[in-house]
């Protein structure tokens, strides 16, 4: 085939124009949206906070009811109620008394086993103030 001289030059100019158009379009897109590859953080709800009611006993905190020589100022029934109030849907078994070391501090606790038919867990209720220890 016989082609005129300069067709290569015209093809190169046409290719250059296409490249310039693609580069301009990539950097100066005609829309103001956000890029599709960014994901929005998903906020998950942790549920509602259930306040735990606890009536402090009216004694002088000098009496103990433990064979482990701990300071148990709340009863087993109170510890059981605190654990159930903090974990809705769970039922508790009989609490047991123990002394545990938590964060370098010795605590007298009620160990309350909980279950809901499919899951079970153990809650440690501080016997001196009724707080649940995050063990």
Q: What is the pLDDT of residues 100-129, one digit of tens each?
A: 888 888 888 999 999 988 888 899 998 888
Query: What is the distance, to the nearest Å, from the Cα of residue 119 to the centroid of all Cα atoms in its chain?
Result: 18
pTM for the model: 0.47
Position 106 in a domain: yes
96 pLDDT above the threshold of 80: yes
Position 90 in a domain: yes
**Ramachandran sector of residue 121 (left: φ over 0; alpha: ψ -120 to 50; beta: rest):** beta
Nearest to 113 by CA among 121, 103, 105: 121
Band of pLDDT at residue 19, cut at 50, 70 and 90: very high
Position 134 in a domain: no
Please say whether the beta carbons of 114 and 92 come within 8 A: yes
Position 80 in a domain: yes
Q: Per-residue pLDDT tens for 36-94?
A: 565 666 666 666 666 776 665 555 444 444 444 455 688 888 989 898 888 888 888 89
Position 20 in a domain: no
Tokens representing residue 106 in the block? 């010795």
Number of domains, the chain: 1
Domain that holds residue 117: 76-129
Position 39 in a domain: no
Position 15 in a domain: no
């Amino acid at each position: 085939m016989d082609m005129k001289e300069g067709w290569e030059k015209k093809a190169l100019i046409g290719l250059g124009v296409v490249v310039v158009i693609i580069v301009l379009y990539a950097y100066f897109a005609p829309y103001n949206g956000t890029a599709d590859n960014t994901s929005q953080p998903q906020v998950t709800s942790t549920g509602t906070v259930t306040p735990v009611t606890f009536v402090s006993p009216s004694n002088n905190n000098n009496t103990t009811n433990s064979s482990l020589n701990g300071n148990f100022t709340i009863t087993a029934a109170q510890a059981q109620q605190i654990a159930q109030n903090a974990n809705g849907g769970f039922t508790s078994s009989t609490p047991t008394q123990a002394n545990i070391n938590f964060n370098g501090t010795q605590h007298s606790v009620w160990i309350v086993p909980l279950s809901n038919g499919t899951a079970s867990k153990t809650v440690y209720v501080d016997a001196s103030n009724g707080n649940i220890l995050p063990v």
